[in-house]
Structure 1
């Protein structure tokens, strides 16, 4: 039935939108001048040499944008001396699938434009100047490839109007590749703003972009605006640095820096956390100011960093880690808070050359490097037990002293480098050990740019014990009947499994979906005295005759009643049976557990792709005028991804219900979308349920 509805609505949609094929630039300009909301203008594949800009001032709507696209991705090439000039009052314009090889500084959006989108284009414009300039607000720049620049100017430049920087931009999944070094100033790869805009707030997001082999000048990414969020980007093999050059209150988190000069910080009240630095020189450079804007210094100065938080970052094998360079008559930095970073390797953990007034150093974990400028009391020396995973980045291993290191909340520290939510106690470094879906990772070229998959792989840990299966066990001298063993996988720590006595026991889980378990959790019961398991092995088998040991533990402790501890194991083999063998507890009165969970790593579209399964999902009101709720009547401790699709199968909204969210519902607003049928997909990574929704 849903397939029939989808087909009918596709037919209806295809009859509404007017498609205009054109085969010349003059015909393209005419079609643009005559365009109405919802029109799609398609330029045939070929190379077109422009002698003037292609002007766009038309307005679409949120529900019916005007789309100007190439016949196939990168199939229509715009060469010559003119590009797309999107000028006021243009709004809701989509420019898609072109390859721009015209002169630099010709494709742009101007002040007064809004809600325009550049997507799936290639920018390779020769000569001095910018490949793409964005002014106006609420624009989106996504899945574009910016490549092969050997001239002054930027791949992408963000501007504004008057003293106000462009606002509410979303710049994501772009690929910036191969910018050759220049001898002058003004060749950043990506410049967000100018000094004159720096005191205005942009409230924009720059995320999931990949920068490789970019070295236009000493600054690669230069932020000259306030309130910009830069997250989950990968900066790899670039000779220039990411600089917060002018402006205040920027958030920089979840980024991956590999073999670059890292990040340099000027300005006030920035939050730098959950970033991953490897083989950088330096990793984090806290700027030495030569002026103080708040006291009247010009906006062009190197504004003294004040009240900057540098916390929960992971720094591994960097030539130098946290630094501040010297400056003649420098003002240094004030009230910098450097806390709970994991620093492994390098010449020293910190080297400060300038004035450093009223700093806070707290909870940093250093290993295989001297403390340098970090005072005693601001660090501990310990092996953080970080190991490289399959993505190539360093994550915490079970038993790491970084796990639960911070028992005090940091209100600005909300996510880790995997995109997982953080909650107290916080793990030191960029990684928070979690079984929640992994929504960010170090990027590869296949994930970004004009030819990438629009739905990048999402990796998460799926609790296979939530998928049914059979649990059995052997537990001599128990005071509880055998029926209590299933309570180990019921997601309820109040229903404990208890064994008295000191002899060995085992519990065995037969999964209905064979999987390669790489992580598991044990939760201690709330009772006292403590009867925690201390010594055990985890084994896997496919026939219950031959068992392979996946993990072995001894002398473990849980310390707190009702505490869930996470353990990892190196395993790539799919098993149907998993067994937990708990040995004698060295004189303890027995073993007491509340929960045992087994997790397999799953990537969307992989071995354990979501299967159709009805979950307790309610969508209301249905029908709706636009505002509706999705509610899950499920108290299990796992995350869910909610995706709203229109009748064409295009994603129009999405959200994540994290595992620690007690209110299992999400709100959506489709008032700006056209009426018709929509579909809501709810997935826990292993199962997927679809509900239909009709909007008036």
Structure 2
């Protein structure tokens, strides 16, 4: 054989072997930032890199340039949501050609402007993180295309800079971004410009289209400057967001062809409009001053004015909005030598209460006013009589705080004209024909939007798939946390050091009134601990401090306290009377009148509805059949967790009818060991241990 050909064959053989080895994605656990960087540098598609819970200080950037795939992204995650905090002078830097990378579950307290994404990156995701980055600068800067930013909390900013700044490359704004279900909270006022809560673009990008979506975000108590959200781009859809108690204005500052619908503006200066061909419909305004501010232009970009000008608003559609008790409703302020606005279409809005319906102080040519309903306003102001009727629209506030039309409302089927851009109402219900005036379309279609609350956004939002890990811990010595839920006093969880903790998820928010703990060597030494209860794993209330075991028993001991409501229970150990070890053999959580064995096993009164859960065979090799039955129809989540409580696979997340079910579990690529099978049915939970050989 030709030696050269032989060498080539060996080379290609080794190349294929290497590729085959990397087809199986790995889970890499690290406990330092240097190890995290090494794992990232070596990452392959599908890898999950887990940083252990703790507080880390970054002095050099964690740089990410690796590429996952759509089917196998690279995931860089905290051990538990909010459990790994990174502070310091450096942060996360995602650089080209990174793509399909997920950053999940961290608390970022490093300096501002240290979470960045460069041009040339794509399909990356920031999810379930908390950004609380001090100092001047942005909390998160986005370049590149097709990124997602969701279920994060951006909070407590007291310096110039934005929570999120979107940029681009050349004159092209970043494209196809999806920013949703984030919570923007507490931005303190600054004395200079450059402190918007969310700035989407700059004037140099304004004529480029982004085709991005900002939806289901909640803004509360944000007032960095006079502009809250500043859109300086074209082709952005802003929908189903809630802006509440923010003394700053949502501004279409530069750009054209933006769509704003289904948003809730409450006790805020509402929306200000510059640029051309915007569609603003199905929004809910309450107690705003003003609600809708049509800008008075000082330049016309289409005629050559600078991109930094206040571009005269042309051809804006303002339709099907509901305005209630606003000091100012539809206004345009005066401006010396102002160009005003042209071809504004103000139709089919409901204006109830508050100041005059319209106050127009600038040039306002080619306007269309039609089909509006006024009721109890302080006059029509500058709205022509032909543009409205005065009648009670029969609005009533529902349990969500939103004003909806009641039966018999004269607004139902009363809209005039046809507007193809108007596709949905404020509830996310479709608008088809015979449209209703105002933001609400009376419909039996599913409601997909409403006024948001903090429980609906951020890392622990109610729309998130259940990530309720039955039991986790800050550390262990090989005696894993799952041992406290196996009903066996001969197994235990152990961790050495003051402040080590074990944590339980109750799956539902419940009233916690006590804990029962069986202590390892509890008959010869006392153990000291605190009990914390929280609605998430970031914010805790101390339910019991300085508790001490009896030192005389190996059995469960009861520690009661004033009831506290929460979803998570954390027991923080302070060692024992002999050494610094914290070690428990069993734990049960007292919720109301019942006990939960860890977070995942309700040991009382669930047999009548959730009658069985088993796995066959057990132990098993690669395949097991999970069997369970339910007595009544209900929501079922069937999941497999590893021995540390981390989700491995969700087998069912759906509403099921009463009956018996057999569900296959393929563990062919999972390592041998003990797994936890959990069945959550209508808030009642059962667990079983299963063993893979």
- Asked if Structure 1 and Structure 2 have the same fold, meaning a TM-score greater than 0.5 normalized by the shorter chain, the answer is yes
Residue of structure 2 equivalent to 1:421: 430
Residue of structure 2 equivalent to 1:489: none
1:441 equivalent in alignment to 2:450: yes
Residue of structure 2 equivalent to 1:129: 137
CA distances 1:457-488 after superposition (whole Å, capped 9, x unpaired):
9xxxxxxxxxxxxxxxxxxxxxxxxxxxxxxx
Distance 1:67 1:360 in 2: 52
Please list, as runs of the form range in 1=range in 2, the aligned pairs for 1:292-691 lying within 5 A after superposition: 292-369=300-377, 370-406=379-415, 408-455=417-464, 648-649=649-650
What secondary structure, in the 3-state scheme, does the structure 2 residue paired with 1:21 have?
strand
Instruction: Verify the 8 A CA contact 2:219 2:244 in the aligned structure 1.
Output: yes
Distance 1:101 1:271 in 2: 38
Distance 1:54 1:309 in 2: 46
Instruction: Verify the 8 A CA contact 1:447 1:456 in the aligned structure 2.
Output: no
Instruction: Verify the 8 A CA contact 2:320 2:439 in the aligned structure 1.
Output: yes
1:278 equivalent in alignment to 2:286: yes
Distance 1:651 1:60 in 2: 27
Distance 1:210 1:142 in 2: 12
Instruction: Verify the 8 A CA contact 1:407 1:424 in the aligned structure 2.
Output: no
Residue of structure 2 equivalent to 1:33: 41
Q: CA deviation at 1:414?
A: 0.3
1:78 equivalent in alignment to 2:86: yes
Instruction: Verify the 8 A CA contact 1:325 1:353 in the aligned structure 2.
Output: yes
Instruction: Verify the 8 A CA contact 1:179 1:189 in the aligned structure 2.
Output: yes
Instruction: Verify the 8 A CA contact 2:371 2:387 in the aligned structure 1.
Output: yes
Distance 2:186 2:312 in 1: 32
Q: CA deviation at 1:108?
A: 1.1
Q: Aligned to 2:242, which of 231, 234, 237? A: 234
Distance 2:24 2:462 in 1: 27
Residue of structure 1 equivalent to 2:507: none
What secondary structure, in the 3-state scheme, does the structure 2 residue paired with 1:29 have?
helix
Q: CA deviation at 1:135?
A: 0.6
Q: CA deviation at 1:347?
A: 1.6
Distance 1:189 1:73 in 2: 24
Distance 2:651 2:404 in 1: 34
CA distances 1:586-625 after superposition (whole Å, capped 9, x unpaired):
xxxxxxxxxxxxxxxxxxxxxxxxx9xxxxxxxxxxxxxx
Residue of structure 1 equivalent to 2:252: 244
What secondary structure, in the 3-state scheme, does the structure 2 residue paired with 1:387 have?
strand
Q: CA deviation at 1:89?
A: 0.3
What secondary structure, in the 3-state scheme, does the structure 2 residue paired with 1:377 have?
helix
Instruction: Verify the 8 A CA contact 2:370 2:416 in the aligned structure 1.
Output: no
Distance 1:373 1:260, change over 3 A: same
Residue of structure 1 equivalent to 2:151: 143
Q: CA deviation at 1:449?
A: 0.6
Q: CA deviation at 1:401?
A: 1.1
Distance 2:137 2:460 in 1: 25
Following TM superposition, the consecutive aligned residue runs of length 4 or more in structure 1 with deviations greater than 6 angstroms are none
Number of aligned residue pairs: give it: 454
Residue of structure 2 equivalent to 1:217: 225
Residue of structure 1 equivalent to 2:176: 168
> Which TM-score applies when normalising by structure 2?
0.64
CA distances 1:505-554 after superposition (whole Å, capped 9, x unpaired):
xxxxxxxxxxxxxxxxxxxxxxxxxxxxxxxxxxxxxxxxxxxxxxxxxx
> Which TM-score applies when normalising by structure 1?
0.64
Distance 1:357 1:651 in 2: 59
Q: Aligned to 1:23, which of 16, 31, 40? A: 31
Distance 1:453 1:651, change over 3 A: farther
Q: Aligned to 2:264, which of 256, 264, 276? A: 256
Instruction: Verify the 8 A CA contact 2:25 2:44 in the aligned structure 1.
Output: no
Cα RMSD (Å) of the superposition?
2.1
Distance 1:201 1:452 in 2: 30
Residue of structure 2 equivalent to 1:513: none
Distance 2:304 2:453 in 1: 44
Q: CA deviation at 1:408?
A: 3.4
Distance 1:102 1:242, change over 3 A: same
Instruction: Verify the 8 A CA contact 1:180 1:214 in the aligned structure 2.
Output: yes
Instruction: Verify the 8 A CA contact 2:196 2:225 in the aligned structure 1.
Output: yes
Distance 1:127 1:268 in 2: 36
Q: CA deviation at 1:651?
A: 11
CA distances 1:203-246 after superposition (whole Å, capped 9, x unpaired):
00000000000000000000000000000000000000100000
Distance 1:46 1:355 in 2: 60
Instruction: Verify the 8 A CA contact 1:409 1:425 in the aligned structure 2.
Output: no
Structure 1: tracts of 5 or more residues without a match: 1-13, 458-610, 612-645, 653-674, 676-696
Please list, as runs of the form range in 1=range in 2, the aligned pairs for 1:66-215 lying within 5 A after superposition: 66-215=74-223
Distance 2:652 2:366 in 1: 49
Instruction: Verify the 8 A CA contact 1:104 1:130 in the aligned structure 2.
Output: yes
